[in-house]
Chains A and B, each alone.
Chain A
Amino acid sequence: EPEVTQTPSHQVTQMGQEVILRCVPISNHLYFYWYRQILGQKVEFLVSFYNNEISEKSEIFDDQFSVERPDGSNFTLKIRSTKLEDSAMYFCASSRDSRTGLRQYFGPGTRLTVT
């Protein structure tokens, strides 16, 4: 089965530092997502991305966050100035297109620890 990959698996950073989380979606997928999961809590939507622009974002996705598709394969999430409360698992997901209800394939996640 095709897989979404994410790097790094674990990122430790100091408060105030910038981090970039990287994802390689499934190759023929067009719709990309970032979700986060604070330890022990539910998975929360951050942002969706389609056709080189943000399609939808949640209230969590403030000015400190940005996403980019720098080339034909990578999809990145940047946090400009990390806060302690940004510590979480960050999952990238992709789907074939933008139709509501298409299965989303989740990557293994990046565990971000902000100290």
Chain B
Amino acid sequence: GQQVMQIPQYQHVQEGEDFTTYCNSSTTLSNIQWYKQRPGGHPVFLIQLVKSGEVKKQKRLTFQFGEAKKNSSLHITATQTTDVGTYFCAGPRETSGSRLTFGEGTQLTVNP
């Protein structure tokens, strides 16, 4: 079945440092979605990328979707303590319905 993999599993940074998490799917995705989950919280939608090679920015966050629509990345510039949480990528299969397959997530901790 479809697998979505993320690396790294954990990332510890000092406040002000940059952070990147990478996502790879075993199958082509019609789109990729990114979610953030704070400790004890629920997944909160951040963004969706649809087009091959698409790049989107949200303030300090930059999201990329690969040309083959099988990989994606999230980059945070100058992390802040409010960025703490687990970042998940998720995507439906291109030929399937809307069920989301989530990656394992990258847990980010930011030391002040």
Q: Which residues in A have some Cβ–Cβ distance to B below 8 Å?
A: 31, 33, 35, 41-45, 48, 55-56, 58, 89, 91, 95, 98-109
Contact = CB atoms under 8 A, between A and B. Distances in A.
B97 to A, nearest CB: 5
Given A99-B98, A103-B45, 13 more contacts: A43-B43, A43-B88, A45-B101, A56-B99, A58-B99, A89-B42, A95-B98, A98-B97, A102-B98, A104-B33, A104-B100, A105-B45, A108-B41
Nearest to B31: A101
B30 interface: yes
B41 to A, nearest CB: 8
23 contacts: A33-B100, A35-B102, A41-B104, A42-B103, A42-B104, A43-B43, A45-B100, A45-B101, A45-B102, A48-B97, A55-B97, A91-B42, A98-B97, A98-B98, A100-B97, A100-B98, A101-B30, A103-B45, A104-B33, A104-B45, A104-B98, A106-B44, A108-B41
A33 B102 CA distance: 14
A67 B9 CA distance: 33
Given A100-B30, A103-B48, A106-B44, A42 B97 contact: no
A89 B40 CA distance: 10
Contacts of B41: 108
A55 B97 CA distance: 8
Interface of B: 30-31, 33, 35, 41-45, 48, 50, 88, 90, 92, 96-105
A104 B48 CA distance: 11
A45 B99 CA distance: 7
A89 B63 CA distance: 28
B92 A101 contact: yes
Contacts, number: 67
Nearest to A47: B99
Contacts of B92: 100-101
Nearest to A46: B99
A27 B101 CA distance: 25
B104 A100 contact: no
